Amino acid sequence: MKELKRNIYLCMKTLDEAERIWGDRVSCLRTRLERVPTAQALHRVTGEPLTARRSVPHYHGAAMDGYAVKARATYGAGDVRPMILKVGENAFPVDTGDPLPGDTDAVIMIEHVQPVKQDEIEIRAAAFPWQHVRKVGEDIVAGELILPLNHLLRPVDLGALLAAGVLEVPVYAKPKVWIQPTGTELVAAEEAAESAPGQIVEFNGVVLSGLVRECGGEPLLQPIIDDRYPVLRERMEAALASEADVVLFNAGSSAGTEDYTAAILGEVGEVLVHGVTMMPGKPTLLGLARGKPVVGIPGYPVSALLAFEQFVRPLLFSLQGVSAPAFPETEAILGRKLPSRLGLEEFVRVILGRVAGKLVAMPLQRGAGVITSLTRADGILRIPQELEGMEVAAPTKVRLLRSREQLDRTLIMIGSHDNTLDVLANELKKRDSRVHLSSSTVGSLGGLLAVRQGHCHLAGSHLLDTVTGEYNFSHIERYLKGTPVRLVRLAARTQGFLLKPGNPKGIRGVRDLVRPDVTFLNRQAGSGTRILLDYLLQKEDLASQGIVGYDQEEFTHMAVAVNVLSGRADTGMAIFAAARALDLDFVPVTEEQYDLVIPESEWEDPKIRMLLDIVVSGPFRRTVAAMGGYDTARSGELVGRWDGREWLLRERT
């Protein structure tokens, strides 16, 4: 096999530079012209100017129901001197759309005539020439331009073309896009049930195919191939020899030892850009070979989407003779501080909601491989490469992934993770499909801070007071001075240690965590679970430094559970429902109170009222109880009311 050097980003381009270089070389390209029936040409783009084959209308026709007359013959008629017309001689009955008979040139509306005899009518006003008549060519004249070149055809355009006798239209062919998934580790989704560790389900191809269709293109999705040089080279040759207008190779565009796409493109064509200072999406590869644009799409799903949107989407529209439609944008304020790397253009997925009249953007997970950060996102904000981040409450533009109307019906919930939030989201959709619950898991303390800053509709919290044993009250007093809130019980739940089936390490309690043969997986600082663990360690006089894995963090109970199941850790602290969901063993530690912290200013919001109605409902309680480890007897109960200085209502435990 030919010896290949390792790919290195020797000259990365900024996003603006890459877009300019790419545009300069591909913006002049167009797909071939084809003729399609006019009735099937919706959303296609005209490849030539279109002129009328016939006039519309092509005859003088009645525009009203009534009688066709010669206008000159009616002169002199009036209230004082009514005129009698003979039906069939100088007055002819017509309906709307009928051609005018004989040498008539006007229509008198049926409402303006008075029958006298069976064959006579009386009129009391003269008609004027072409009154209530659609003249030949009134709409379209044969030979005149109907639509110009490079026009995106709309439903009304198709109607005008058909009326003018244009039964076929020359349009740019839909761009055919060769999509080549690559990677020895990839496996088709239908084979995933039998896949071995290290294999990854290939889904980028389906995502890219959908994006191509949204741009008016035709995807040519290929079978998965190994990322070996001879195979990749053969498939690149096949793609360039095919009918495809654009070639996409997914994965293999980075700088790893088995990333050959850039080298192969350099052999068969020209590499224009290898590496763009954008995140996610840095390994993007742009080039030309044998007259065809070739794009190396990064393998991580978020990187793949952003690389497509920045470079492939505008190309596909340009190939069809039009510019890519602009993405809808809106103004928002940032819900929490957002650091960023200087020199990289960063695209951050966010949830959006209107809180106290302000549209708030809360960042989601930023990993390039986190596909759910896109399924959950309401928008994407862009941090310019010259910034090292953005401060909380900073104004920013956000590209919308949902409609503006949906944002006003979105509930933003910040704070601790709980499995019942998925139940709440589904029940809200059942009640009103327009209402959307967006949650960001930043820990209980992060939720209280978001409430204080006015950046959420409600927070989830289970913060233990290690002195009194109560949950949430003392922390609200400390962090929400001046911020009135109400505290509503969502559920009581059991916390404990998650263990591999059979508990092979024999873990019985917190003292086992300091054993050198036990690996632990922690929750993030500020989470209620982390505070509970630290309290247990303090009670047992154990140092966290002695725990292997104490500094390894996850943000949700289910993330802890799946990592214990996978073997990354021997144990972690989470709720019983997470253990039950993945068939893990469980050592209970305590029952804790998980509450909703709702700002007084949001209490009467109809979306909050709907959510609280769900929490007290029988179906919600039964569904949550069936998950295991929950007590829903007091779900929906108001357990505290804080006016910002003192408790007006406080449950005593």
Distance CA(607)–CA(368), nearest Å, equals 33
Residue 372 predicted with pLDDT over 90: no
| Entry pTM | 0.85
Distance CA(522)–CA(266), nearest Å, equals 47
Contacts of 330 (CB under 8 A, 6+ apart): 352, 359, 379, 397, 398, 400, 404, 407
User: Which three-class secondary structure state does DSSP give residue 353?
Assistant: strand
End-to-end CA distance of the chain, in Å?
A: 74
Residue 258's pLDDT band (cuts 50, 70, 90): low
Residue 411 CA to its chain's centroid (Å): 17
Residue 3 predicted with pLDDT over 70: no
The pLDDT tens digits for 119-156 are 999 999 999 999 999 999 988 999 999 999 999 999 99
DSSP assignment string, 127-162:
--TTTTEE-TTSSB-TTSEEE-TT-B--HHHHHHHH
**Two tokens, residue 489:** 């019980």
The pLDDT tens digits for 512-557 are 999 999 999 999 998 999 999 999 999 999 999 999 999 999 989 9
Neighbours of 24 (CB within 10 A): 10
In degrees, to the nearest 5, what angle opens at C-alpha 253 toward C-alphas 247 and 255?
A: 165
Q: Give the C-alpha distances (Å, rounded to integers) separating 212 from 289, 308, 376.
A: 20, 9, 22
The pLDDT tens digits for 453-480 are 999 999 999 999 999 999 999 999 999 9
Contacts of 222 (CB under 8 A, 6+ apart): 178, 179, 180, 181, 205, 235
Residue 254's pLDDT band (cuts 50, 70, 90): low
Residue 11's pLDDT band (cuts 50, 70, 90): confident
Question: How confident is the model at residue 257, as a pLDDT?
Answer: 53
Average pLDDT over residues 245-253: 88
Average pLDDT over residues 102-126: 93
The pLDDT tens digits for 305-340 are 999 999 999 999 999 999 999 999 999 999 988 988
Question: How confident is the model at residue 380, as a pLDDT?
Answer: 94
Average pLDDT over residues 487-509: 96
The pLDDT tens digits for 555-582 are 899 999 999 999 999 999 999 999 999 9
**List of domains in the chain:** 15-29+175-319 (3.40.980.10), 33-56+138-172 (3.90.105.10), 61-134 (2.170.190.11), 329-408 (2.40.340.10), 456-650 (3.40.190.10)
Average pLDDT over residues 292-316: 96
Distance CA(284)–CA(252), nearest Å, equals 10
Residue-wise burial string across 94-132, b where 16 or more C-beta atoms lie within 10 A, e elsewhere: beeeeebeeebbbbbeeeebeeeeeeebebeebbeebbb
Sole residue written with tokens 């941090």: 383
Question: How confident is the model at residue 366, as a pLDDT?
Answer: 74
Question: How confident is the model at residue 118, as a pLDDT?
Answer: 87
Give the ranges where 389-527 is alpha helix by DSSP (H): 404-407, 420-431, 444-452, 473-479
Average pLDDT over residues 107-114: 95
Question: How confident is the model at residue 6, as a pLDDT?
Answer: 46
Percent of residues in the chain assigned helix, strand, coil, to nearest 5: 30, 30, 40
Residue-wise burial string across 390-402, b where 16 or more C-beta atoms lie within 10 A, e elsewhere: beeeeebebbbbb
Question: How confident is the model at residue 376, as a pLDDT?
Answer: 87
The pLDDT tens digits for 166-211 are 999 999 999 999 999 999 888 888 887 655 667 888 999 999 999 9
Residue 2 predicted with pLDDT over 70: no
